[in-house]
Amino acid sequence: MTEKTKIYLDAQKVSKSYFIGKKEVKVLQDVNWHVKRGSWTALLGASGSGKTTLLNLLGTLERPDAGTILCEGVDYQTLSKRHATRFRNNSIGFIFQSYQMLPELTLLENVYLPGMINSILSQEYKLRAEELLSKVGLADRLKHRPDELSGGEQQRAAIARALINNPSLILADEPTGNLDSKTGAGILELFQQLHEEKSNRTIIMITHDEKVAFLADSIATLADGNITT
- Which pLDDT tens digit goes with each residue over 208-226? 888 889 999 999 999 988 9
pLDDT on residue 145? 95
pLDDT-flagged residues of the chain (< 70): 1-5, 117-121
Q: Are 91 and 70 in contact (CB under 8 A)?
A: no
Tell me the pairing of strands 202-206 and 40-44: parallel
pLDDT of the residue at 1: 40
User: What Cα–Cα distance (Å) separates residue 93 from each residue in 17, 26, 173?
Assistant: 25, 27, 11
Sequence-separated (6 or more) residues with CB below 8 Å from residue 219: 41, 42, 44, 213, 229
Contact 143, 92 (CB under 8 A): no
Range of the domain at 72: 3-19+26-228
SS3 70: strand
User: HSE of 15 in the Cβ direction (CA atoms, 13 Å)?
Assistant: 10
pLDDT the model gives residue 47: 87
- What sign does the CA torsion over 149, 155, 161, 163 have? negative
What is the count of structural domains for the chain? 1
Distance CA 138, CA 132 (A): 9
pLDDT digits (tens, 9 = 90+) for 19-51: 988 899 999 999 999 999 999 999 999 888 999
Task: Look at residues 78, 4, 42 and name the one whose alpha carbon lies nearest to residue 170.
Answer: 42
Whole-number pLDDT of residue 229:
82
What confidence score (pLDDT) does residue 196 get? Answer: 87
CATH code assigned at 219: 3.40.50.300
Using CA of residue 117, residue 118, residue 121, residue 125, what is the dihedral sign? negative
